[in-house]
């Protein structure tokens, strides 16, 4: 027992002196006697604090109940649940934002894709879609190559879209013909429309097969209708003197073309053509037409005639030539093509085609037009359809004599005053008047929408 009544220390090892902890060690080093790994540090080791905390160990703490680093209280279960739900909500919001951005971008991308590529894109997994969109965005925004392995890029890239198939042209039936009001409709081998629109050569008076073959030899890409109503011009004038007959004929042609393979036919340009007496139909059509169709050309071969009026300066009947005169003035303004050929035949009882051609030249120009000598003869064609029409001994070639032009009004005179010379204007139309029409319709494009 000790003097103070406490039990005596019976340990054979003397009690070591107390250890003094030095606060604010100048070298700020670690204590030399570190505790073994896995053991909590001794209480005195908590004194190694920054300088700003040292005064709190030497005196009264600035805040009651606060340690050197402040007090820590474990969160309650309710607070822990609140923190978990806040974290889940933030994650869901971020995920929803990403999904919306990817979906909007994908929809815009698919809208600009061809159909085949769009289907391939929809078939991709969501991960590959997102990767592809990210790759596309990085290329467009940064302009740099994406750091994707070639084999991975090959899996992510869309397959090359197949080439857009060209719209096949209509399957036109070229053999045979279709019956129309007063004649027949041909679809020559050279008639190759690319869509529903078509051009039309409407010819009056002449052998039907000859006109078709002439269009093919000239290379005319148009439907060809041939009307035959009689021998004299009066039969043609009387038939088309009724308003609406011409428009009904065009409607017949539309229906016939639909039956021959042209879907929803739409008439684009019309060329009115005639030989000999057929000019009577053109005269009445020009006078009475409603102007709904686009009349683009008039081709007359050795055929415009009229009566005499002695009191007129020209001696010709202007009323009978009025519709042709208006057309000549339009041609002079380059609004349509008007081509005339004539022979040297003088019928005596009425004005010749030479006299009427000169009258139309003067009417178009507003003054007398002098003709110049012609030099270049058109090539002479031998058509199969012309065999037997004229004896080879009597067959005549087209030898030009004079020519003159006012704008798109072209007049050419040819030698000859026999029936065979007259027939030659029909037999050789593929080398005289049709080449001008072929050239015009090849480079001229669609005419103005307003009728003439």
DSSP state of 376: P
Closest CA to 224 of 235, 238, 214, 239: 214
Which of the 8 DSSP states describes residue 325? H
What was the pLDDT predicted at 400? 97
Tell me the C-alpha distance between 287 and 303, whole Å: 17
Token pair 């008439």: residue:
267
- Within 10 A of 101 (CB to CB), how many other CB atoms are there? 12
Say if residue 209 is exposed, middle or buried (CB neighbours under 10 Å; 0-12, 13-18, 19+).
middle
422 within 8 A of 390, measured Cβ to Cβ? no
DSSP letter string over 245-270? Answer: HHHHHHHHHHHHHHHTT-SS-EEEEE
Count of C-beta atoms within a 10 Å radius of residue 17: 6
pLDDT attached to residue 163: 63
Spatial separation of the C-alpha atoms in residues 9 and 146, rounded to whole Å: 80
**Positions of the chain with pLDDT under 50:** 1-2, 6, 9-13, 19-32, 34, 37-38, 43-63, 65-67, 69, 143-150, 152-154, 156, 450-451
Find the distance separating the first CA and the last CA of the chain, reported in whole Å: 143
Q: Cα(366)–Cα(176) distance, rounded to whole angstroms?
A: 46
State the average pLDDT for the chain: 80
pLDDT, tens digit (0-9, with 9 covering 90-100), for 384-420: 999 877 788 888 999 999 999 999 999 999 999 999 9
Nearest partner of 280 among 213, 331, 227, judged by Cα: 227
């Amino acid at each position: 027992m000790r003097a103070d009544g406490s039990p005596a220390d019976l340990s054979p090892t003397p009690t070591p002196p107390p250890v003094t902890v030095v606060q604010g060690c100048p070298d700020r080093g670690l204590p030399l006697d570190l505790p073994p790994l896995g053991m909590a540090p001794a209480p005195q080791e908590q004194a190694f604090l920054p300088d700003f905390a040292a005064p709190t160990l030497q005196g009264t703490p600035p805040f009651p109940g606060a340690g050197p680093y402040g007090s820590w209280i474990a969160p309650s279960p309710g607070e822990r649940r609140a923190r978990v739900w806040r974290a889940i909500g933030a994650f869901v919001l971020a995920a929803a934002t990403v999904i919306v951005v990817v979906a909007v971008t994908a929809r815009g991308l698919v809208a600009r894709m061809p159909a085949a590529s769009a289907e391939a894109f929809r078939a991709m997994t969501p991960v590959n879609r997102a990767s592809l969109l990210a790759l596309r965005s990085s290329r467009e925004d940064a302009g740099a190559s994406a750091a994707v392995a070639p084999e991975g890029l090959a899996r992510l890239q869309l397959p090359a879209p197949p080439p857009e198939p060209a719209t096949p042209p209509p399957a036109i039936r070229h053999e045979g013909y279709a019956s129309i009001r007063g004649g027949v409709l041909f679809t020559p081998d050279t008639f190759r429309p690319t869509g529903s629109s078509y051009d039309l050569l409407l010819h009056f008076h002449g052998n039907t097969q000859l006109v078709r073959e002439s269009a093919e030899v000239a290379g005319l890409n148009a439907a060809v209708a041939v009307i035959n109503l009689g021998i004299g011009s009066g039969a043609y004038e009387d038939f088309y003197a009724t308003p609406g007959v011409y428009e009904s004929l065009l409607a017949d042609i539309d229906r016939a073309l639909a039956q021959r393979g042209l879907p929803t036919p739409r008439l684009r340009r019309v060329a009115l053509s005639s030989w000999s007496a057929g000019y009577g139909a053109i005269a009445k059509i020009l006078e009475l037409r409603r102007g709904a169709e686009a009349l683009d050309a008039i081709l007359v071969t050795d055929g415009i005639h009229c009566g005499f009026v002695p009191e007129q300066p020209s001696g010709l009947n202007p009323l009978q030539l009025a519709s042709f005169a208006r057309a000549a003035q339009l041609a002079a303004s380059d609004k349509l093509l008007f081509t005339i050929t004539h022979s040297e035949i003088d019928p005596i009882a009425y004005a010749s085609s030479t006299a009427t051609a000169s009258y139309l030249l003067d009417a178009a120009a507003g003054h007398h037009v002098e003709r110049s000598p012609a030099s270049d003869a058109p090539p002479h064609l031998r058509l199969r359809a012309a065999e037997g029409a004229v004896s080879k001994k009597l067959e005549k070639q087209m030898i030009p004599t004079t020519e003159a032009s006012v704008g798109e009004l072209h007049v050419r005179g040819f030698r000859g005053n026999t029936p065979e010379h007259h027939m030659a204007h029909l037999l050789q139309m593929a080398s005289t008047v049709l080449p001008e029409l072929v050239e015009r319709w090849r480079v001229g494009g669609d005419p103005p929408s307003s009728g003439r």
